[in-house]
Amino acid sequence: EAAVTQSPRNKVAVTGGKVTLSCNQTNNHNNMYWYRQDTGHGLRLIHYSYGAGSTEKGDIPDGYKASRPSQENFSLILELATPSQTSVYFCASGDAGGADSDYTFGSGTRLLVI
């Protein structure tokens, strides 16, 4: 079954440490996305990718990097984690266009930066 899998599901990190959130999709979608979800803000786009080797800045990219080494994998990297990056992070894959346009979301990663 096509899916988006995120790891880890939960993460505790120390301020100043490096954090990598991983996402794998089996949908064969070209586009992948990283969002964070905070109370009162809904979903905010951090980075996205059109395909392997490409990364694009979303609406709130500061403090985050992204890597798309393959069609299936898209990582979000916090080089120097800060408490303000405590949030729930969602990865999604999708292809806009066509009557069956669909976006599939992972189950989320809860990150606590202390």
| Contacting residues toward other proteins, per CB under 8 A | 4, 31, 33, 40-43, 45, 48, 50, 90, 92, 94, 96-97, 99-108
State in angstroms the smallest separation of the CB of 96 from other proteins: 5
Task: Give the tokens for residue 80.
Answer: 């120097």
Give the residue from 67, 75, 31, 68 showing the smallest Cα distance to 52.
Answer: 68
19 vs 94, which CB is nearer to other proteins?
A: 94
State in angstroms the smallest separation of the CB of 16 from other proteins: 28
C-alpha span between 109 and 114 (Å, rounded):
16
81 vs 94, which CB is nearer to other proteins?
A: 94
35 vs 75, which CB is nearer to other proteins?
A: 35
The SS3 call for residue 84 is helix
Cβ atoms of 3 and 103 within 8 Å: the answer is no
